[in-house]
Homo-oligomer: A and B are copies of this chain.
Amino acid sequence: MQLHPIGTLHTPWRSVADCPRNGRQPNPAPLCTAVVLPEFVEGLRSVETFSHLILLYAMDQVTSPELVFTPPFDDTPRGIFATRSPRRPNPIGLSVVALEGIKDDTLMVRYLDCIDGTPLLDIKPYLKTTDCEPDSSMGWLRRRA
């Protein structure tokens, strides 16, 4: 499966080392933008009716995948699929973001944690009926949450 960017994400972070651990870590969370390519702008119709979106993006700065590693602030090796590390076999990033506004081809959002210039792959409406699990466990991250 070959992916093609539908746009670009703009954030305050210029390198992977600058990025926060997650999009809710910075307080206040800075305003970021998602700029959609002209040929896909028509697909934004009714997106403004949602308060939250799921953005998928290509973490194209990632080198090789790392199937098992010991995360920072942890002392146990974890599988990549038990972490949100970018060094995944398919480095697709996912952020649940708050939509602050749309103007033409540009979405204003909060809670991104990726580097500036990241290729955007998809925009999905966040639906609390299927995407929200308030009683879910934090797994091995519980002790660190």
* CB-contact partner of A133 in B4, B47, B49, B128, under 8 A: B128
Contact partner, A124, options B1, B94, B131, B133, Cβ 8 Å:
B94
A124-B93 Cα distance, complex, nearest whole Å: 10
| A49: B residues at CB distance < 8 A | 82, 137, 139-140
- Which of chain B's residues have a CB closer than 8 A to the CB of A129? 22, 24, 138, 145
List A residues 54-95 near B (Cβ within 8 Å): 54, 56, 58, 60, 67-68, 76-84, 88-92, 94-95
Interface positions, chain A 33-54, Cβ under 8 Å from B, are 40, 42-47, 49-52, 54
27 A/B residue pairs, CB under 8 Å, sorted by A:
A1-B2, A3-B90, A3-B92, A4-B89, A24-B130, A40-B67, A40-B89, A42-B67, A43-B68, A44-B82, A46-B79, A47-B79, A47-B81, A51-B133, A51-B136, A52-B133, A54-B94, A81-B124, A82-B125, A90-B122, A94-B94, A94-B124, A96-B130, A96-B133, A127-B136, A128-B133, A129-B145
